[in-house]
């Protein structure tokens, strides 16, 4: 096992030191950072330290409400509209609200500003002050309840799922997670294809064959590249968590994000067999084809099988419990992504989850088993692809009959 | 052949290997002992590399038996073997020193020990200043030397080198020869496959000649040369020496101005002299029995075998 570990470490370090890996891994955090920077820039660009004014002709706003709300000096009362207008034109306030005498009947409020309306946060503070004033005299709990409004939570019958207006962001998370996890699996499996072809292209196969067993070599490579995938995911998750933490400070809607523990468990359960399934396929492709380019073309087609749910996204959104959704949940190559997409849309029946995971795991085991056999048969097959009969012979556990007869025997 | 012997580094017994309809190896046997340089000879496609691959457990033979270090190959024994295959290569886009250290650690060395060994070899083979370069940036000769380091860094007890001199200039050829000889002198076993007969003659204690999958000649080099004494003659004169009965191959005059004629198996120098003397188109100034070189023996045996096969 020491040799498999050495291969794993070598593959891991070789891959993470590549510029292409750094670019692929850091692109997402950079995107998040850019988004946050833009948000902060826009927020700062619009900030105006000057207070707001108000003219309360209806006699609604109370001093208590003003003091309980935003900063004490955030709102300046004016006795008349002319005085407020003069202050606005003098630049002492950024805008002023006018509550006309008939406000209690009409509910109409006027806002006057010179060029730009004050930011949402200032307007929310004024609303809060107005509500607090209107509710003055009511018990505190009633004031609080009315101020918070209604938070509607939709819950499934079995209680496994719920969707609340306040945590709408949790609908998006499984979808985003699905995209990133599948992308990670596909890209690291792509590295595996490259890693398998490397020994053939570099003519190092024979050295490796007299150094360690094919099983240790392939296990080491797969483990190393799994670690690469996990590193990439760790960087992305860390970036996402950091982004959410920073974003929550700026955007209250993000504070409602909850850690989707059940979803995380499902992701963990599906991640390994999905990786093994596509990893086995990539190893087999890398072993069959002599040229990297040929292998990549076939691998590209294979990737489509895993990405298929994205192509029928509209159907899945329209009918997340329909036959196509169920079929794709059960089909091994599409199960991971389909489950993640459906997660935010419906309650996936437990039997579908169990059967889909079982089928995925069985396919993954078959894929790894076949890959190991094809790898052994193809490892010394320089300059030409492994023929169909040779692949069948390898899968039956026989020596590939025509493998070396056509041009490989060098002496 | 004796029963598997623990004092023998390699025992190969009646190996057979087919790939579909092609019989790559039909019947190959030999033994290799510690401290000797053993030559594996044969024309292209004879089955040398396939025999080596079976010897090293890269291929499983269809029949026959291989024993390395007294028994079948296992993972631990792989650490005692250094193999430089004919199909050469290292990880082209990686840097030289870390690649060699990685390969040495895979052969069982600890990382510090591997670094120490690799540094020593890099210095000896004039590659130390190139240690940080990517392998693809090295010249072909440098890559060849790097491959040799990968074969030797873990101090293997059995060294198997397939065409070790190809791609090397005369200076580096001499250096590699010296290293191979040092390994044998240190008690290591060396199996060398090459087409360069003069190298075999200069370096090998014993040889096996493989032709069409059969071992057709096997034994000590000096004994074989004695056995084949009289299978070549040196003739100075004029005329067509190439198409004379009993002559397998005629090499045009070299520095000494004499033709070198390799004789067919069974042909006697005195019969040839009689034939030449009777031909009006040939005049002879000098005729002498030459010591057979391995080149002559190779040609005599291989072409003789083929002539016999076509007669049959």
Q: What DSSP string describes B107-168? A: TT--HHHHHHHHHHHHHHTT-GGGTTSBGGGS-HHHHHHHHHHHHHTT--SEEEEESTTTT-
Nearest Cα neighbor of B203 from B157, B151, B141, B159 is: B159
Q: Which residues pair with A153 in a beta bridge?
A: A164
- Report DSSP state, residue B277: H
- Residue B11, pLDDT > 60, answer yes
Task: Quote the DSSP letter at residue B292.
Answer: P
The Cβ of residue A6 has, within 10 Å, a number of other Cβ atoms equal to: 19
What local confidence, expressed as pLDDT, does residue A363 receive? Answer: 95
The C-alpha of A405 sits at a distance from chain B's nearest C-alpha, in angstroms, of: 5
As a whole number of angstroms, the distance between CA A334 and CA A360 comes to: 9
Calculate mean pLDDT across residues B233-251: 84
CB-CB neighbors (< 8 A) of B22 in chain A: 405, 409
Mutate to test the interface with A, among B20, B47, B52 (most CBs of A within 10 A): B20
Return the residue matching tokens 């006795």.
A79
Q: Which residues of A touch B85 (CB under 8 A)?
A: 203, 206-207
Nearest CA in chain B to A207: B83
Percent pLDDT > 90 in chain B is: 42
Number of other CB atoms surrounding residue B145 within 10 Å: 24
Q: Give the 3-state secondary structure of residue B73.
A: coil
Closest CA to B27 of B61, B68, B60, B73: B61
Residue B195: partners with Cβ closer than 8 Å, 6 or more residues away: B41, B163
> What pLDDT tens digit does each residue of chain A (411 aa) get?
789 999 999 999 988 888 888 888 888 788 877 877 776 676 666 566 788 888 988 888 877 776 665 555 678 888 888 999 998 888 888 888 998 888 888 888 888 888 777 777 777 778 878 887 887 777 777 777 776 666 656 566 655 555 555 555 556 667 777 777 677 777 777 777 777 777 777 778 888 888 988 878 888 888 888 888 888 888 888 887 787 777 777 666 566 666 677 777 888 888 889 888 888 888 888 888 766 777 778 888 888 888 888 888 888 888 889 999 999 999 999 999 899 888 878 888 999 999 999 999 999 999 888 888 888 777 666 556 677 777 777 777 655 444 443 334 444
Q: Looking at residue A408, what DSSP letter applies?
A: T
| d(C-alpha A347, C-alpha B234), whole Å | 95
CA dihedral for A60, A64, A68, A74, sign (positive or negative): positive
Closest-CA residue to A97 (of A127, A120, A139, A63)? A127
What phi and psi, each to the nearest 5 degrees, are found at residue A358?
A: -65, -45
Residue A318 CA: distances (Å) to CA of A78, A314, B133:
55, 6, 57
Nearest-CA residue of chain B relative to A403? B19
Task: Evaluate if residue B305 carries a pLDDT over 50.
Answer: yes
Instruction: Sort out which chain A residues have CB atoms less than 8 A from B42's CB and list them.
Output: 411
| Distance from C-alpha of B260 to C-alpha of B241, rounded to nearest angstrom | 9
Partner-chain contact B105 A6, CB within 8 Å: yes
pTM, two decimal places? 0.72
Closest in A10, A210, A405 to B83, CB measured: A210
Are the Cβ atoms of B75 and A213 closer than 8 angstroms?
A: yes
For residue A168, count other CB atoms closer than 10 A to its CB: 12
For residue A207, list chain B residues with Cβ-Cβ distance below 8 A.
Answer: 83, 85, 103, 150
CB contact burial A117-143 (16+ within 10 A = b; e otherwise): ebeeebeebbeebbebbbbeeeeeeeb
In the block, tokens 């060396």 appear at B190
Among the partner-chain residues B50, B106, B150, the one whose CB lies closest to the CB of A212 is B106
Q: Which residues contact A141 (CB under 8 A, 6 or more apart)?
A: none
- What does DSSP assign to residue B71? B
- In chain B, which residue's Cα lies nearest the Cα of A197? B91
């Amino acid at each position: 096992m020491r040799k498999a570990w050495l291969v794993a470490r070598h593959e891991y370090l070789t891959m993470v030191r590549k510029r292409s890996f750094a670019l692929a891994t850091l692109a997402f955090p950079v995107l998040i950072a850019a988004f946050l920077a833009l948000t902060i820039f826009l927020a700062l660009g619009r900030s105006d330290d000057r207070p707001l004014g108000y003219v309360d002709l209806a006699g609604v706003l109370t001093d208590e409400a003003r003091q309980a709300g935003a900063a004490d000096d955030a709102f300046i009362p004016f006795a008349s509209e002319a005085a407020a207008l003069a202050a606005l034109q003098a630049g002492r306030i950024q805008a002023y609200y006018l509550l006309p005498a008939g406000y209690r009947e009409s509910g109409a409020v006027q806002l006057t500003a010179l060029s730009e309306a004050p930011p949402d946060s200032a307007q929310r503070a004024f609303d809060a002050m107005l509500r607090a004033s209107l509710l003055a005299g009511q018990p505190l709990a009633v004031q609080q309840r009315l101020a918070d409004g209604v938070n509607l939570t939709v819950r499934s019958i079995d209680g496994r799922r719920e969707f609340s207006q306040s945590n709408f962001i949790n609908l998006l998370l499984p979808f985003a997670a699905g995209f990133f996890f599948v992308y990670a699996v596909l890209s690291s499996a792509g590295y595996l294809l490259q890693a398998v072809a490397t020994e053939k292209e570099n003519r190092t196969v024979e050295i490796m064959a007299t150094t360690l067993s094919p099983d240790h070599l392939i296990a080491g490579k797969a483990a190393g590249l799994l670690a690469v995938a996990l590193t990439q995911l760790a960087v992305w998750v860390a970036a996402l968590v950091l982004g959410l933490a920073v974003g929550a400070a700026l955007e209250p809607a993000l504070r409602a994000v909850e850690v989707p523990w059940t979803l995380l468990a499902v992701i963990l359960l599906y991640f390994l067999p999905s990786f093994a399934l596509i990893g086995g396929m990539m190893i087999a492709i890398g072993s069959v084809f002599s040229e990297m380019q040929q292998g990549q073309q076939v691998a590209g087609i294979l990737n489509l099988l895993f990405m298929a749910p994205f192509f029928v996204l509209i159907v899945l959104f329209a009918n997340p419990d329909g036959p196509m959704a169920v079929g794709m949940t059960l089909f091994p190559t599409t199960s991971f992504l389909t489950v993640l997409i459906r997660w935010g849309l419906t309650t996936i029946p437990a039997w579908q989850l169990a059967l889909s995971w079982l089928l995925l795991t069985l396919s993954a085991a078959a894929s790894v088993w076949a890959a190991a056999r094809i790898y052994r048969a193809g490892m010394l097959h320089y300059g030409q692809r492994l023929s169909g009969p040779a692949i069948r012979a390898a899968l039956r556990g026989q020596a590939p009959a025509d493998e070396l007869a056509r041009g490989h025997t060098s002496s | 052949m004796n029963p598997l012997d623990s004092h023998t580094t390699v025992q190969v017994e009646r190996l057979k290997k087919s790939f579909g309809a092609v019989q790559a190896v039909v019947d190959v046997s030999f033994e290799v002992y510690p401290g000797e340089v053993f030559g594996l000879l044969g024309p292209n496609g004879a089955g040398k590399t396939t025999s080596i691959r079976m010897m090293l457990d890269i291929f499983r033979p269809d029949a026959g038996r291989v024993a390395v270090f007294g028994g079948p190959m296992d993972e631990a024994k792989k650490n005692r073997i250094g193999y430089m295959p004919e199909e050469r290569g290292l990880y082209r886009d990686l840097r030289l020193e870390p690649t060699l250290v990685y390969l040495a650690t895979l052969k069982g060395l600890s990382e510090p020990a591997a670094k120490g060994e690799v540094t020593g070899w890099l210095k000896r083979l004039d590659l130390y200043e190139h240690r940080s370069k990517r392998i693809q940036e090295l010249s072909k000769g440098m890559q060849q030397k790097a491959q040799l380091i990968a074969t030797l860094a873990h101090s293997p007890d059995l060294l198997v080198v397939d065409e070790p001199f190809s791609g090397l200039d005369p200076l580096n050829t001499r250096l590699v020869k010296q290293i191979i000889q040092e390994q044998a002198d240190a008690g290591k076993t060396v199996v060398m496959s090459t087409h360069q007969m003069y190298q075999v003659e200069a370096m090998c204690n014993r040889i096996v000649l493989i032709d069409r999958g059969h071992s057709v000649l096997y034994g000590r080099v000096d004994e074989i040369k004695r056995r084949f004494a009289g299978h070549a003659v040196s003739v100075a004169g004029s005329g067509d020496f190439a198409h004379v009965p009993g002559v397998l191959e005629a090499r045009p005059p070299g520095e000494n101005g004499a033709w070198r004629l390799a004789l067919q198996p069974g042909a006697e120098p005195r019969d040839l002299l009689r034939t030449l003397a009777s031909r009006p188109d040939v005049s002879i100034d000098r005729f002498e029995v030459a010591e057979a070189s391995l080149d002559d023996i190779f040609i005599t045996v291989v072409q003789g075998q083929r002539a016999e096969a076509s007669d049959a």
